[in-house]
Structure 1
Amino acid sequence: MEPLYKQVYQSIKRNIMNGKYAAGERVPSEKELSNSFQVSRITSKKAIELLVTEGLVFRQRGKGTFVSDMKDSQESSETLEKSKNNFLVGLVITDFDDSYVSKVISSIEEAAGERCFVIFKRTLGSVEKEAEAIRQLIGYGVDGLILYPAQAEHYGTEILKMIIAEYPLVLIDRTFKGVGAAFVSTDNIKAAKKGMKHLFNLGHEHIGVLAPSIIETTTIVDRFSGILQAYEEQNKIVNRQLWCTDLKKSLPIAFSQNITPEHDIDIIKNHLKKHPEMTALFAIEHNIAVLAKRAADQLGLRVPEDLSILCFDAHDNNLSGWEFTHLRQNEREMGRLAMNRLVEMMNGNLEIKKEFLDAQLVEGNSTCSMNRIPVKQTSKSF
Structure 2
Amino acid sequence: MVKKFTPMYKKIETFIIEQIRNENWKPRSRIPSENELAEQFGVSRITVKNALTTLVDKGVVYRLQGKGTFVSDHSPEDISNISTEEKAAHTVPVIGFLLPRLDNRFTANLLSGIEDSLSGNGYQLLFAKTNDSQEHEILRIQEMKQAGVKGLIIYPVEGEHYNNEILSLTLNRFPLVLLDRELKGVDTNSISSDNYAAAMQAVNHLHELGHSQIGFISTLAEGTSSIEDRLHGYEKALEDRHILIDRGMQMTKLTMTSSDDEVIAMIQQFLKANPQMTALLSSNFSPHVIQAALQLGISVPEDLSVVFFDDVEYPDFCIVPPTAVVQQELELGREAGRLIMEQIENRSSEYQQIKLPTVLVPRQSTAKARKTNRTP
Match of 2:281 in 1: 282
Is residue 239 from structure 1 mapped to residue 268 from structure 2 by the alignment? no
**Residues 275, 375 of structure 2: 8 Å contact kept:** yes
Which structure 2 residues correspond to residues 255-334 of structure 1 after superposition, within 5 A?
259-285=258-284, 287=285, 289-318=286-315, 320=317, 322-334=320-332
| Structure 2 counterpart SS, 1:310 | strand
Shift of 1:86: 3.7
Give the one of 126, 130, 137 matched to 1:119.
126
**Residues 183, 354 of structure 1: 8 Å contact kept:** yes
Q: Output the CA distance in 2 between the equivalents of 1:84 and 1:170.
A: 24
Q: Following TM superposition, where does structure 1 have runs of at least 4 consecutive aligned residues deviating by more than 4 angstroms?
A: 52-58, 70-85
Query: How many percent of aligned residue pairs carry the same amino acid?
Result: 31
| Structure 1 counterpart SS, 2:317 | coil
Match of 1:100 in 2: 106
Q: Output the CA distance in 2 between the equivalents of 1:80 and 1:170.
A: 31
Q: Output the CA distance in 2 between the equivalents of 1:76 and 1:214.
A: 57
In structure 2, runs of 5+ residues without a counterpart are 1-51, 59-71
Q: Output the CA distance in 2 between the equivalents of 1:89 and 1:381.
A: 54
1:303-335 Cα distance to aligned partner (Å, 9 max, x none): 001111112102214461542111101111111
**Residues 153, 214 of structure 1: 8 Å contact kept:** no
Structure 1 residues 243, 76: closer, same or farther in 2, change over 3 A? farther
Q: Output the CA distance in 2 between the equivalents of 1:156 and 1:323.
A: 39
**TM-score, normalising length from structure 1?**
0.74
Which structure 2 residues correspond to residues 1-20 of structure 1 after superposition, within 5 A?
none
Shift of 1:153: 3.1
Match of 2:356 in 1: 357
**TM-score, normalising length from structure 2?**
0.75
Structure 1 residues 80, 220: closer, same or farther in 2, change over 3 A? farther
Amino acid at match of 2:362: E
Amino acid at match of 2:261: E
Q: How many residues align?
A: 306
Q: Output the CA distance in 1 between the equivalents of 2:116 and 2:138.
A: 26
Amino acid at match of 1:306: D
Shift of 1:267: 1.8
Q: Output the CA distance in 2 between the equivalents of 1:233 and 1:381.
A: 29
Structure 1 residues 303, 187: closer, same or farther in 2, change over 3 A? same
**Residues 115, 125 of structure 2: 8 Å contact kept:** yes
Amino acid at match of 2:290: K
Q: Output the CA distance in 1 between the equivalents of 2:322 and 2:260.
A: 19
Match of 2:94 in 1: 88
Amino acid at match of 2:344: M
Amino acid at match of 1:96: L
Shift of 1:216: 2.5
Match of 2:209 in 1: 202
Query: Which deviates more, 108-117 or 196-205?
Result: 108-117
Structure 1 residues 357, 84: closer, same or farther in 2, change over 3 A? farther
Amino acid at match of 1:234: R
Q: Output the CA distance in 1 between the equivalents of 2:212 and 2:239.
A: 14
**Residues 345, 351 of structure 1: 8 Å contact kept:** no
RMSD: 2.7
Shift of 1:156: 1.1
Q: Output the CA distance in 1 between the equivalents of 2:335 and 2:234.
A: 27
Q: Output the CA distance in 2 between the equivalents of 1:140 and 1:186.
A: 30
**Residues 307, 365 of structure 2: 8 Å contact kept:** yes
In structure 1, runs of 5+ residues without a counterpart are 1-51, 59-69
Match of 1:109 in 2: 115
| Structure 2 counterpart SS, 1:151 | coil
